[in-house]
Structure 1
Amino acid sequence: MNATDFDIAICGAGPVGTALALLLAKQHPHPDRIAVLGKNFDLARTEHVQGDPRTLALNHGSLRLLQGQLQAWPRRAAPMRTVHVSQQGRLGRCLIQAHEMGVADLGAVVHYDDLLEKLHARLRDSGVTLIPAQIAQANSAPGHMRVQHDAGQSSALLAIQCDGARPNGLRREYKQHALLTTVRASRPQDGWAYERFTAHGPLAALPHPDGADLYGIVWCNGPERSQTLAELPESDFQHALMQAFGERLGQLHTVSDRHLFPLAFHAGPSRLAERMLAVGNAAQTLHPVAGQGLNLGLRDVAQLAHSLAPWQSDCRQSPTPFLTRYARLRRPDRWLTAAITDTLPRLFATHNPLIQHACGLGLLAMDTLPLARLPFARQLLQGLRA
């Protein structure tokens, strides 16, 4: 008999932690030996919970995981079939298209709350143990982990930190905020998503799951400029947005509140202790350019579930070789994705005209040369998968 309360304790019940629990429960002979510690398990049945304003751009790899293995795809989703990348004030643009990549969709955009509600519904039917907790923190003990949480303390052979803790390691304050809002376009383009690099930061317009003529805006600027934009009268904000984005979608009219989120880069090791791993936001938090944060986290959990499958058949064996192998296999994808999302917004926002021209030429080269475009597109589409 196991001496611990659980075999695996997952600290965090967001999309990454929930997806990990569902994957592990499929393999474990006793799913109740897996504990998920987190909040909002009853999100769908709690009317007073304020809705999350975020929409999520899920790439093709994440779409396949959520639709296929997890069967947790939200009812509302806006497909992305073409991604248009451009630079304000410079020549050159690049199109990434689904048919060129051999897929029906590059990905899709969903509501954060819709995805979490669907994942939590699957979680309640999975047999895992749910422990409501605002905060869960794991600490090493001889041969196991102690997990402190709101209801007291639990013990587990392994602890996986998914959110609620910043990674310890590399850190960069971007001195930017992301402004989120929703707009209605007078000339919508079915299945098109846009990433536009401006002198202040990237500006994304993503298809919206609530309507074919709606787009989710993610506009990155310095903190003062972001605050000013958030407080502008509606007509002035729309004018500023049109100046930055252009008229590709016709006139843009805001249909929701504006929300600000500060941006920073954090990345640390996957292995936190002998019996503890970090995945998702606990391992890396990225700039939102290209929408890679959650997609990278979902690749983390897919690889971790695969790596832990032999250990879950007999949890009395040492987990060290399985955790070591997981960390080694994930390292290239994690650091390549982090490098791309960290470099792009800083490179395009430089005020050096030579670099600005070089960026424009780079987009033109990618658009005209498949050998330059396809590896980059493939990384955004599915990442490096072991």
Structure 2
Amino acid sequence: MSIEDKDMSEIIESDFDEPDRKNWIAWAFTILCIAIGVVVLTKFIPAIIASDDAGTQEPLEDIVEVPVYYVENMDGLHLNDTDFDIANYYFRNEYEYNHYYIDDDNVLWGVGDNSDGQLGNGNRSSYESTPQKMAENVIHVDGAPFFVIYLTESGELYGVGANQNGLMGLENPYGREWIYYDDIVATTPVCLMSDVKYARASQSGIVALKNDGSVWWWGQIRNTSAKHPDDTIGCSYSEPTKMLDDAIYVTCGSFCMAAIKEDGTLWTWGNNTFGSCGYDSKNQDFIEEPVKVLDDVKMVWMDEVRFEKAKPYAESESAEGNDDYNYTYVTFAEKKDGSLYACGKYVDGKGSKIWDFKLYGDTLRTPEEYMDDGLHRPVELVYSDRFQRIQFKEKKD
């Protein structure tokens, strides 16, 4: 019989003896199992790996539940910018106190209180409702209660108004105990510093960043809400004093200052009564020399999360809820990975601290320093001197 005349069973019977048939069947079954296993693993291994990776990340519910701080304009914060450009942080429309604005021709105008000559028109008056031309070639302005500073295209920093502790470069005959006196003022602009890249004004101080990366601060930090009632003045310099080098950005709140260095480290100094500097200063109210508090930082804000005002002056002035964006004694930081953090007054989180105080106006006193006259109730105050994870949201009208 030829091979063509045989069916498959006969071929197997003739070509394989019984042991060979068993081995062939075993090998075939093994190969089939391996093939099935490869298909199954190919399908499910990516899901397993993704599940393991997810376990190393912060759970979504933790991100959603972190405290929310509302801001007026998310787009104006430049959170998604990858390149740092100092021009993004210039103020051209500012009215926390007076209204100062820079027009399209880079002319600076001012409206409002002129009792300390802060409108720069050469005299002192209670109020000016007509815009006063203050300067030309201006790229940035920042106002304080009794003075204003502005930066020109050529990098010159000018100031006008009250001379608080030598702010305007005028003599200070009263010493550091005086934060405000109205008999020494600059009613016309004074050049305070040259070769300046950026500057900000605190309640009674100025912080400036020069083109060489050096940071300078002068003025005075005085805060009656201190742990020690007899030690309410700190960080007092009557002339520009160099604080640190290699910086790319500076800012300040009413009572604290901050700088970001080229390496992404964040440095702070000023009043730390409520942990606003993000540093455990123990029983010390003021940090007079900058301290490193955070790494990999992209941006920092103090008291308010904004740069220039987002809305026109008249509209915002009459709008309700502007205080919703005011977080005095709170410092915010954005890290380079996009995560957001806050420290300071009323910031609650892991490691936050609690004080029991008696509140006298703007002055806090501990229970031991309180005379029980029945007029002042205890205040339980939560604060954090370490940065806690937070999120920003824009409040819709």
Same fold (TM over 0.5): no
Higher share in strand: 2
For the pair shown, the structure with the greater C-alpha radius of gyration is 2
Q: TM-score, normalised by structure 1?
A: 0.24
Q: Which has the higher contact order (CA 8 A, sep 6+)?
A: 1
Q: TM-score, normalised by structure 2?
A: 0.23
